[in-house]
A = this chain, B = another copy of it.
Amino acid sequence: MKISQGVEWGLHCATLLALAPPDRVVRRDRLAAHYGLPEAYLAKHLQAMARAGVLHAVPGPRGGYRLGREAARITVLDVVEAVEGSTPPFLCQEIRQRGTGALPPDQCRRPCAIHATMTAADQAWRASLRTVTIADLVARLPAGVRERNEKIVS
């Protein structure tokens, strides 16, 4: 089980964009250079975030990205789901209905306890990620970093 690198990239980019003045658009090559990321690969994740409404993409030679809404209304989960999708990581294959021990379909109308346990854990994970917003991440930047990055995106 592994979370895509794009999640770290997307969260850092969103935190940086949150420091820009309203309506200020930051170019994609600048975001990539700031964090030393491969631009073409970062582009894929930024586009996914724009499709999810987390970012707003401005096309054209002076284009780039800004946040899609205020930072306090974007949760870490919003970014994670924009980049990773929202499919639960546990894909039940209903093996209880296979093989010599196969149960008949009428005994399998509800998810089994294993499936339910994995779903509950996934919900706990998402609930935890939903408690933190991009504004919270900005508030937790170390002293000095916020001011420095604000200048960079101003």
A82 smallest CB distance to B (angstroms):
13
- Size class of the contact patch on chain A: 35 or more
Stretch at the interface among A47-55, A64-72, A87-95: A87-95
Known pairs A96-B35, A101-B149; A136 contacts B113 (CB<8 A): yes
Q: Is B137 a contact partner of A113 (Cβ separation < 8 A)?
A: yes
A122 vs B8: C-alpha distance when bound (angstroms): 15
A26 smallest CB distance to B (angstroms):
12
A36 at the A/B interface (Cβ < 8 Å)? yes
A50 smallest CB distance to B (angstroms):
20
A9 smallest CB distance to B (angstroms):
7
Chain A interface residues toward B at CB < 8 A: 1-5, 7-9, 11-12, 15-16, 32-37, 76, 84, 89-93, 95-96, 98-103, 107, 112-114, 117-118, 120-122, 124-129, 132, 136-137, 140-142, 144-145, 149, 152
